[in-house]
Each structure stands twice: as structure tokens, then as C-alpha cells.
Amino acid sequence: MTDHDNAYDGLVDEDAHGLVPDGQWAFGTSFDDPLAGVDTTVPDDVDGHALAAYCLMLGDDALISSQRLAQWSTRAPELEEEVALANIGLDLLGQARLLLARAAAADSQVVPYISDTSPVPSDDALAFFRSDAEFRNVRLTELDNGDFAKSQVRLLVFSTWRLAIFSRLRTSRDPVLAAVADKGVKELTYHRDYAARWVVTLGCGTDESTRRVSDAVARIWPYVAELFVPTDEEIALAGVGVAVDPRDVREEFDSVLTQVLHAAELHAPEGKSVGTIGGRGGRRGIHTELFGPLIAEMQVVARAHPEGVW
């Protein structure tokens, strides 16, 4: 209970030192910095260009997934799910910012030029001022939300795969990647479990929910194979203990998805996979027709005011 006549007065109470107590804010004001005390120097024997490329891949996966989840705002079936999806999106956005900033620190050449006096931070520049073909996210992340079932299946696949990678990245020889992964594992564990519960609920629900989630699995599954195709940078960095070869997590991924789909009374389609174009997929800038409008929506304000400060 509070003695305040106005419920909002408690948000601005000052303590004896004239300071606002942090604990009165819903999310606090002193977030833990996952890089606090971490040596951010790129290891001497690590190729900075390859490290930057790898961080862009992981960062873009999170950024585009976050943007898609943000589109559920005001559209989720229940308020509780709207809050959950928004929080998951914010988790991924936080991962994206750290990874894009790491990419810029590893190789400044990846940062788009705006102007000599631009106040735009490197992570924002990478998010808002690259062209479609410069993004390195897997194509799964850019698929449209569709209905609630489709978004949950997409989230299940993405978070299961990413959690397996981040669990191994905690021992990366790059201290920044290790720190980002250590924090990310906690977040991704929730993301995966949240999506898994919904997939099982929908699969074992009504005829309509079963149909929808079954259709969602059929729509999402062709994009699974791409998750396990390594790039040259991933192979090279995995060889020196910095990155994770995605092929190494396929068995874990299959085990988790098999359990969830079995519990949901669903089956993964066989023999369906979206091919590459000239051997290139999302990691090499080849995206779906859905990607252009998504990026345009995300970048429109920044591009209209390239040196704006808020």
C-alpha cells in the first residue's frame, strides 16, 4: 500500500540524498552490463575480419527476429502473450546490439559511412544503414509472422538452434562472444521453453489449432536445413576455438524438436528444403521476397533523419 494520493507519485519519490530509488521502477535503471570487466580486445591470433563477419551473422539473426516479434505488438491473442513476445524481442534486440558493436570493434570497415560528424553509434549504423544484400541473417528469421501458430513454430526452431550454439559459445576464446553467450543462454532457454509449450498446447488442442500448427510446421521446416550450413568464417573461427560450427549442433537440435513435436502429436516434413541461389543463402545476402519490406519498415525513420538525435 502507499500513502500517495496519486499512484504515480511513488515513481518520483526522492530518498534522503535527493535520489530516486532504483527499485521503484518496473525494470530498474541499473541493468547489469554483460561486458562489465570483460577484456574487449580482439585476441591477437584471431582474424578481425572473420570475427566481424561472424558477429554480423549472429547479430543480424537476432535483429531481424526481434523486428518480426515487434510486429505482434497490439496484435497478440492475449495481453499476456503480447508482453511475452515483446520481452523476447527485447532480449534478442539486446543480443543484436552487443554483437553488432563487436563486429564494428573487430573490423571498422563493416560500418556504413554516414558522415564525418555523424553521432550514430556503430551498432545503429549497422542496423539502419546497410542495404538488404549486406545483411547476413538466415532466411528463417525473415519469414512473416502469419498466425500465432506459425510465429511460435518459427520461434521454437530459431531458439532451439540458437540456444545450442550459444551454449557452446560460452567457452569461446573471444571474451566478448563468451560473455554475450553466457547472458544469452538464460534468455534463450526461456524463449525455447515458451515456444515449446505453445506448440504442444496448439498441437493437442482443437481441430482448428492442430490444423494451424501443422500448417506452420510445414511452412517453417524447409528453412531448417540452412541453419546447419557453415560459412568459411564459421569453419575457420571454430577451428581456433572462437566460433561454433553449426553442423555440431544438429544432433541436439533434432533431439529437442523430435521431443516437442512428439508431445504435440506432430511430425516434421521430410525431404523439403529451400535451396540456395548459386550456392548462396541468407548468410551471403540472398534473402526472401519478404525481407525488403521488413528492412524498409525498420530503417525508414533513421534514413529519413540520418543524423537525428533523440
Residue 258 identity: T
Per the structure block, which three cell numbers stand in for 276?
Answer: 540456395
When computed from its CA atoms, the radius of gyration of the chain, rounded to whole angstroms, is 21
Q: Where are the domains positioned within the chain?
A: 46-304
Distance CA 275, CA 261 (A): 24
What torsion, rounded to 10 degrees, do the Cα atoms 116, 117, 119, 121 define?
20
203-250 tens-digit pLDDT? 999 999 999 999 999 999 999 999 999 999 999 999 999 999 999 999
* pLDDT of 15: 52
Helix (H, G, I), strand (E, B) or coil at 21: coil
Nearest to 128 by CA among 309, 304, 287: 304
> What pTM does this model have?
0.88
Say which CATH superfamily domain 46-304 falls into. Ferritin, core subunit, four-helix bundle (1.20.1260.10)
Which amino acid does the sequence have at 31?
A: F
Q: What is the pLDDT confidence band of residue 38, given thresholds at 50, 70 and 90?
A: confident
pLDDT at 17: 52
283, amino acid identity: R
C-alpha–C-alpha distance, residues 152 and 196, integer Å:
8
C-alpha grid cell for residue 237? 573461427
